[in-house]
Amino acid sequence: MRFLFVAMILGATSFGQNSLGTIAGTVRDPWGVGFAEATVQAKNTQTAAIVKGVSGAGGKYTISDVAAGTYDISVTVPAVRPFEQKGVTVASGKTLELNIKLQESTQLSTLGEDTLGAIADRKRHNPPPGPAPRTTDGKPDLSGVWWSPTMVEPGKPEWLPAAQAVAKQRQDNNSLDSPQARCLPSPVTRLGPLFQFAQTKQFLVIISDDESPGFHQVHLDRSAHPTELDTDLWYGDSIGHWEADTLVVDRVGFNEGVWLDQGAHPHSGALHVVERYRRPDLGHLEKEVTVEDPGVLAKPWTFKAVADLAAGEEIREFICAENNRDIPHMVGK
């Protein structure tokens, strides 16, 4: 009887292990080189459960103990297009080999210079430890220079067919009409490769590197947008308020020419963006963004990212029109 009991336990354990699978492969940059420190996320399409793995030397990654089922795979790193592959099937007791080739961002990246620079910058991240600083009125002080946020939860945007068609046309045409390539602001949801927060009691100034004009202000001293809203603002009209230690930023009134994200999606006049910033400690800034736009999304899209403090770094002036080398390469297909 004891032997039978032990056999039953071993059999149950073996069954539990066999019901799990593995996803493994290699993440490579746009030139085929193994890309380290990329977070590969797998989201179960039935349960919404998320499992992750991080690529190591040579770009190799492994996600173990993955429940059998169907998954959407995503990778988001600065200066490259977000990678997504839907409907990947993980079988019990088997390893699914999934190799990932990252692509350059919505610009042609001036023959790769922007992407290479972002990859080099990643190696310089060394956020300092310690508690988050506070202002004289007791609020968390978000001020500082930060590296471009790294996606930790990309969410699952449900684009309407028309928005998907526009994004595909733009990407297939080498992003020929990218505003950023013509010294106009980058997509609404982009920050970096460095960005700076300068915080006072009345407003927060956000400065984004490698962009023209690269700055906009969040009004902390008013609780509502103007009655007659200016809809010709590339960064939108931004107001903010504190909810405990979280700064909530409300943005509306965007210029129709700005792209919504680095996936080249458009937006409608109903675009509404809510950003929530929290500084849990000295070296990190958490960012949660909810994008609402019934003109392009079936439902609101929420994603989360974390930025490391770029201690010792500073943002230099960037005069895009002075040395713009993207235009000659924006030839389309």
Res 13: pLDDT? 44
Looking at the fold, whether 88 and 145 belong to one and the same domain comes out as no
Last residue of a domain, one of 77, 101, 125: 101
Looking at the fold, whether 289 and 144 belong to one and the same domain comes out as yes
Res 9: pLDDT? 43
Domain that holds residue 188: 109-329
Looking at the fold, whether 170 and 291 belong to one and the same domain comes out as yes
Of 203, 195, 260, residue with least CA distance to 234? 260
Looking at the fold, whether 160 and 254 belong to one and the same domain comes out as yes
Beta strand residue intervals within 126-281, DSSP E:
144-147, 150-153, 194-199, 203-208, 215-219, 237-243, 246-252, 272-281
Looking at the fold, whether 222 and 74 belong to one and the same domain comes out as no
Last residue of a domain, one of 101, 127, 161: 101
Res 227: pLDDT? 85
Count CA atoms closer than 13 A to 106's CA, side-chain side. 26
Tell me: the pLDDT tens digits for 103-140? 765 444 444 445 555 555 566 677 889 999 999 999 99
Contact 178, 187 (CB under 8 A): no
The CATH number covering residue 62 comes to 2.60.40.1120
Under the banding of pLDDT at 50, 70 and 90, the label for residue 77 is: confident
Looking at the fold, whether 138 and 182 belong to one and the same domain comes out as yes
Number of domains the chain is built from: 2
The answer to whether residue 2 scores a pLDDT higher than 60 is no
Amino acid code (one letter) for 152: V
Looking at the fold, whether 300 and 226 belong to one and the same domain comes out as yes
- Range with lowest mean pLDDT among 4-18, 72-86, 132-146, 160-174: 4-18
Looking at the fold, whether 207 and 325 belong to one and the same domain comes out as yes
Which position has the token pair 């169907």? 70
Q: Mean of the pLDDT values across residues 310-326? A: 80
The CATH number covering residue 166 comes to 2.40.128.20
Looking at the fold, whether 197 and 215 belong to one and the same domain comes out as yes
Looking at the fold, whether 126 and 80 belong to one and the same domain comes out as no
Q: What are the backbone dihedrals phi and psi of residue 59, each rounded to the nearest 5 degrees, phi first?
A: 85, 5
Tell me: the pLDDT tens digits for 50-76? 999 988 888 899 999 999 999 999 987
Could you give the percent of the chain with pLDDT greater than 70? 83
Looking at the fold, whether 62 and 183 belong to one and the same domain comes out as no
What are 273's two structure tokens?
A: 């963006």
Last residue of a domain, one of 44, 74, 101: 101
What are 44's two structure tokens?
A: 């179960």
Tell me: the pLDDT tens digits for 214-270? 899 999 999 999 988 766 899 999 999 999 999 999 999 999 999 999 889 999 999
Looking at the fold, whether 145 and 36 belong to one and the same domain comes out as no
